[in-house]
Amino acid sequence: MNAPQLVRHSLHESLVAPVREMILNGELRPGQKVPEEQLCERFGVSRTPIREALKVLAAEGVLQILPHRGAIVARITAEQVEELFPIMASLERLAGILACDRATEADIARLGALHDGMMACFEAGEEVDYLRYNRLIHEGFFAIAGNATLSTYYQQVLTRIHSCRFVMRKSREHWLAAVAEHRAMMDAFAARDAARLGALMEAHITGTTAGIARAFIHGEPGPEPADTPDSRTGKARNR
């Protein structure tokens, strides 16, 4: 019997995921030049595997490699918003439906705790941490859904719309709308109302999230953290 073959990943392949995560979490921002030398120091490698990893991310549409300039974090376009956000919305809808069917009480409690943490960040005007919790909640629905192919598609689309999902600042109006929608989604999840949760998640992406993306593209500024509105009154709160 033949011995099983070992799968060996090249060095540059092991670098793709952590560099992609730096983009998704906002450490590398849209339009920013990728600092190759800093990445070499951070990961303890030479420029060659870093550049090979950047080529992979460029093929994914996350980066642009420009002559004499190197790699630049790609900016999403208005055309991509109209093309990709309906796809993301459909994926989120299905994840919500499947999650309601498969969730344990522990799953519901875990996402509820994340939601509580996100709301605390909203109240404190901590938008960076709010966005981090937001991403964990949405990824949590996909994890609970238990469909590996669905999760793969989600991550592929998420990577392409990185600058308009979990790293951009919101206007006061958009932030209030997003908070209200998240509360409704968590209520539907706790009630295991699959149809309602799916519809709410789809509407959240095609409505508020896509609206934030369009504002982001057109350069409309979001609020400073100290200008964050109170979730009950809608008035600005100072920290």
Q: What is the pLDDT along the chain (239 residues), one digit of tens a residue?
A: 454 443 345 777 789 989 988 887 778 887 889 999 999 999 999 999 999 999 998 887 788 899 888 999 888 788 888 999 999 999 999 999 999 999 999 999 999 999 999 999 999 998 888 988 999 999 999 999 999 999 999 988 887 776 566 556 667 888 899 999 999 999 999 999 999 999 999 999 999 888 888 887 776 444 333 333 333 334 333 33
Q: Indicate whether 233 belongs to any domain.
A: no
Q: Indicate whether 203 belongs to any domain.
A: yes
**Do both 52 and 96 map to the same domain?**
no
Helices and strands per DSSP (H, E), number in the chain? 10, 2
Q: Indicate whether 20 belongs to any domain.
A: yes
Asked if residue 215 lies in contact with residue 163, where contact means CB atoms within 8 angstroms, the answer is no
**Do both 97 and 207 map to the same domain?**
yes
Q: Indicate whether 29 belongs to any domain.
A: yes
Tens of pLDDT, residue by residue over 85-115, are 999 999 999 999 999 999 999 999 999 999 9
**Do both 88 and 55 map to the same domain?**
no
Q: Indicate whether 17 belongs to any domain.
A: yes
**Do both 117 and 132 map to the same domain?**
yes
> Which of 52, 73, 94 represents a domain boundary (last residue)?
73
Describe the chain by its helix, strand, coil percentages, rounded to 5.
Answer: 65, 5, 30
* Structural domain that includes position 132: 78-227
**Do both 96 and 15 map to the same domain?**
no
Q: Indicate whether 213 belongs to any domain.
A: yes
- Sign for the CA dihedral angle at 146, 149, 150, 151 comes to positive
Q: Smallest Cα–Cα separation from 115: which of 199, 23, 180?
A: 180
> Which of 33, 49, 73 represents a domain boundary (last residue)?
73
Phi, psi of 160, rounded to the nearest 5 degrees: -75, -25
16's enclosing H/E stretch is: helix 11-24
**Do both 184 and 94 map to the same domain?**
yes
**Do both 112 and 203 map to the same domain?**
yes
pLDDT for the residue 28: 85
**Do both 136 and 218 map to the same domain?**
yes
- Beta 63-66 vs 70-73: how paired, if at all? antiparallel
**Do both 118 and 213 map to the same domain?**
yes
Global pTM reads 0.73
**Do both 96 and 154 map to the same domain?**
yes
Q: State the residue for tokens 């938008």.
A: 127
> Which of 50, 73, 96 represents a domain boundary (last residue)?
73
Q: Indicate whether 93 belongs to any domain.
A: yes
**Do both 69 and 85 map to the same domain?**
no
**Do both 90 and 65 map to the same domain?**
no
- Sign for the CA dihedral angle at 22, 25, 30, 32 comes to negative
Number of domains in the chain: 2
Q: How far is residue 27's CA from residue 174's CA, in Å, rounded to a whole number? A: 23
Q: Indicate whether 239 belongs to any domain.
A: no
Report the CATH number that the domain containing residue 35 is assigned in CATH: 1.10.10.10
Report the CATH number that the domain containing residue 129 is assigned in CATH: 1.20.120.530
